Amino acid sequence: MAKEECECEDEYEAQNLSSFNTFFNSFVFEHSFVRACGLNNRRESRLIGGKTTEFNEYPWAVALLYKGHYFCGGTLINERYVLTAAHCIRGANKNNIKVLVGEHIRSFPIETKTKYYDVVYIVYHHLFNKTTYNNDIGLVKIKGKITFMWYARPACLPMPNMDYVGDLAVVTGWGKVGEEEGITDSLQEILVPIFSNNVCKTKMEYAPEEITQNMICAGFQNGRRDSCHVSNL
């Protein structure tokens, strides 16, 4: 998954909790029923294929800034927490991170209702593997609380053990739109079909040991765009 390099501190500020599973599972249980979650601001029909989103179409999509520069995306899941990837925050100093809510075009922030938030702490899965990307999940806790508005609303969290094979997933982010291209300026979206992990192991270009039960298999078997080309999440 694409992200710009950040100049991270030698000292790990991320809290590598051995009880991450217990912490996150209890968090999901307590916060799965946030009111008005998952309500987008789409005004046009959604088509399969990557494209620029509408302004604030996905009000839970946030940008993470490191020393003022974009380096990863995240998903707002309640008024205090942002869900992101472990590889984004591992080794980062929380004091150098800000969460930008309401962003759309990174080079022109005044076109939307953007607001910056400081970070209280960051935590990632204690079994995250930077080589295989297994357990690539983390949380960012912001200072204060976000007031939910039409341009800032949380995504809905799935219930444990849900099976989404056969559904279409929406992937958003400011990632690369091609192997030779840089990070996009505007928030992108793409619809990708969800497959079983067995399909990833047997019919796609992955070794069986690369796919674990902690991952979701989504993309296109014919080599069209997937989340690695459009998103940071």
Domain ranges, ordered by start, for the chain: 167-230
pLDDT at residue 202, rounded to an integer:
83
pLDDT tens-digit series, residues 184-219: 778 888 888 998 988 888 877 778 788 888 888 888
pTM of the shown model? 0.77
pLDDT at residue 12, rounded to an integer:
38
Structure tokens given for 153? 């609303």
pLDDT at residue 139, rounded to an integer:
94
The rounded distance, in Å, linking the Cα atoms of 39 and 208 is 36
Distance of CA 151 to the CA centre of its chain: 17
Ranges of H-type helices in the chain: 20-31, 86-89, 197-203, 227-230
Q: What totals of helices (H) and strands (E) does the chain contain, helices first?
A: 4, 10
pLDDT at residue 95, rounded to an integer:
95
pLDDT at residue 108, rounded to an integer:
72
pLDDT at residue 155, rounded to an integer:
92
* Arithmetic mean of pLDDT, 84-95: 93
How many CA atoms are closer than 13 Å to the CA of 98, on its beta-carbon side? Answer: 12
pLDDT tens-digit series, residues 136-192: 999 999 999 998 888 899 998 887 778 889 998 888 888 766 655 667 778 888 888
| pLDDT greater than 50 at residue 1 | no
pLDDT at residue 179, rounded to an integer:
59
Would you place residue 11 in the very low, low, confident or very high pLDDT band (cuts 50, 70, 90)?
very low
- Amino acid making up residue 170: V
| DSSP helix/strand/coil, 172 | strand
Helix then strand then coil, % of the chain, to nearest 5:
15, 25, 60
* Arithmetic mean of pLDDT, 47-71: 82
pLDDT at residue 3, rounded to an integer:
41
The rounded distance, in Å, linking the Cα atoms of 71 and 89 is 10
The rounded distance, in Å, linking the Cα atoms of 4 and 185 is 13
* Arithmetic mean of pLDDT, 56-72: 90
pLDDT at residue 10, rounded to an integer:
33
pLDDT at residue 52, rounded to an integer:
84
Which parts of 95-231 are beta strand (E)? Answer: 97-101, 115-124, 138-142, 168-173, 188-195, 217-218
CATH class of segment(s) 167-230: mainly beta
Backbone angles phi, psi at 46, to 5 degrees: -95, 135
pLDDT tens-digit series, residues 28-56: 544 544 557 888 887 655 544 567 888 88
